[in-house]
Copies of this chain bind each other. A is one copy, B any other.
Amino acid sequence: MTVVENQEVAECGCFLNAWLWFNKFVKKLMFKVVDNAKSAKKLGQEDPRRIVHSLKVGFTITLVSLFYYFEPKFHYEGFGVSAMWAVLTVIVVFEFTVGATLGRAINRGIATFLGASLAGGVHRLACFSGSKTLEPILLGIFLFSIAAIVSYLRFLPKLKARYDYGVLIFILTFSLVSVSGYHDKQVLEIAHTRLSTILIGCAAALVVCIFICPVWAGEELHNKISSNLEKLGSFLEVFGTEYLNTAHGADSEQKGSDLQGYKSVLNSKSSEEVLANFAKWEPRHGKFRYRHPWAQYLEIGGTARDCAYRIHALNAYLNYETQIEQEIRTRIQEPCMKVSTECGHVLKALSLAMKTMTYPLTIMVHIDNAKLAAENLKTLLHTNSSWEDINFSAVIPLATVASLLIDIVSYTIKMVESFDQLATLARFKKTNRFAPVRIRTGSWKRKRVMPEPSTENVHHHTIAAE
């Protein structure tokens, strides 16, 4: 081979390499695009309201923009500052749920009014000084101190939860208005324009958000808590049949989704709190009054989470290959199954009752059954004669499962009590004689043999970085 031929081969190799690399890159890119498109499609299939929301946002923005586009009087400055604020307001205020949109709109409206008023006052005060050199110094001092104080107040957890956006807009409006004009008249005009355009933007966003396929945060919270109870109930129902039944291997795969659903309950705290905060802004809608007891939902959610922690511990024993004699199994299986399935029934009944906003129909029977089964389980564990000739180490997992189930009974009863309070506060429909559970569950607690699980509310530990 000559040198030229060699070079040609090398060049061919170069091109081939480049081609291969390019091919790989395109394939990778295509794969990524297809992957993202698939997950985007899935998002829409999971919750079609997301598609409706996007269309609503697009519609409102176009509406407000074109209104200002066609209205020539807003173009007096060649830019349409007003149009800008209205469009900006729509984009910033429009959220998925009505509560979030309302919260932002009200925050934005009131904060703009307060900020503009204060800025007007401060501007007038600075003008009183008369001298042209003193005025900016005074303005600067006011601006610095108010911005610093308000920024600091944003760290207050109470303020942060519901009014953070308002506080931000307050600083914003105050800074903009107080700095932007030299003359009193101008400041007033700016403040007035800003306030009116923001109100137009908020109104447009709210009307579309509330009257076209609204998504209510309160309803979301209601459904979320209800579905959490159902998930826990499903686990317990399936656990009752699956545990100690290693023969049911095929079934367990089928029921996998029922069994793993509870895991989303473990970390549901923050989303529940956010929804409850949004829900507080919402007016009366559907089955929910204004001032519906949203805090009570958080209480039920907290107990459900405590229950989910125990279920998480139970879950470890689910696929546990036992070397236990058939005898112990059958002896302990029956009460364990009973406790688990009855608690599952109770939670599912609660979930259904919450969905329909009625008092649950058949709940007392299941509570009584669960309590009875738990008592049986305790008696069984207490009777020394039952365990005399048995390998101690083989019984420990069973005893742990039993004690976890006994804990779960007490959490279930706590949830029923919280539900009862909710039903009273929210005036659920009474379709039957549902005696106040509070009284009837009192005696149960005192009789417990296992230590009371710590029921202190761990949900109030705020974390600095949150």
Given A172-B91, A176-B88, A309-B309, do A451 and B79 touch, yes or no (CB 8 Å)?
no
Binding site for B on A (CB under 8 A): 36, 39-40, 43-44, 46-47, 50-51, 53-55, 57-59, 61-62, 65-66, 68-70, 75, 77-81, 83-84, 87-88, 91-92, 136, 139-140, 143-149, 151-153, 155-156, 168, 171-172, 175-176, 178-182, 186, 190, 220, 224, 263-264, 266-271, 274-275, 309-310, 312-313, 315-317, 319-320, 378, 381-384, 386-387, 391-393, 396-397, 399-400, 402-403, 407, 449-454, 456, 458-459, 461, 463-466
Complex contact A148–B58 (CB within 8 A): yes
Q: Which listed residue (B91, B156, B396, B407) contacts A171, Cβ 8 A?
A: B91
Given A147-B62, A400-B403, do A461 and B267 touch, yes or no (CB 8 Å)?
yes
Given A83-B180, A88-B172, A393-B449, do A58 and B381 touch, yes or no (CB 8 Å)?
no
Q: How far is the CB of A435 from chain B (nearest CB, A)?
A: 29
Q: Which listed residue (B43, B153, B393) contacts A40, Cβ 8 A?
A: B153
Q: How far is the CB of A345 from chain B (nearest CB, A)?
A: 25
Given A87-B179, A136-B69, A392-B384, do A263 and B62 touch, yes or no (CB 8 Å)?
no
Q: Which listed residue (B43, B81, B87) contacts A155, Cβ 8 A?
A: B43
Q: Which listed residue (B47, B143, B180) contacts A79, Cβ 8 A?
A: B180
Residues on B with C-beta less than 8 A from A44 are: 152
Complex contact B400–A65 (CB within 8 A): no
Complex contact B267–A58 (CB within 8 A): no
Closest-by-CB residue of B relative to A453 is B316
A410 to B43, CA, bound (A): 38
A224 to B466, CA, bound (A): 12
Given A80-B180, A267-B270, A309-B313, do A155 and B50 touch, yes or no (CB 8 Å)?
yes
Q: Which listed residue (B79, B378, B451, B465) contacts A271, Cβ 8 A?
A: B465
Complex contact A54–B84 (CB within 8 A): no
Complex contact B79–A152 (CB within 8 A): no
Given A400-B400, A466-B270, do A175 and B69 touch, yes or no (CB 8 Å)?
no
Task: Please list the 9 inter-chain residue pairs (A to B) with the smallest Cβ-Cβ separation, ordered nearest first.
Answer: A58-B148, A54-B152, A320-B451, A382-B393, A58-B147, A57-B151, A54-B151, A316-B453, A65-B179
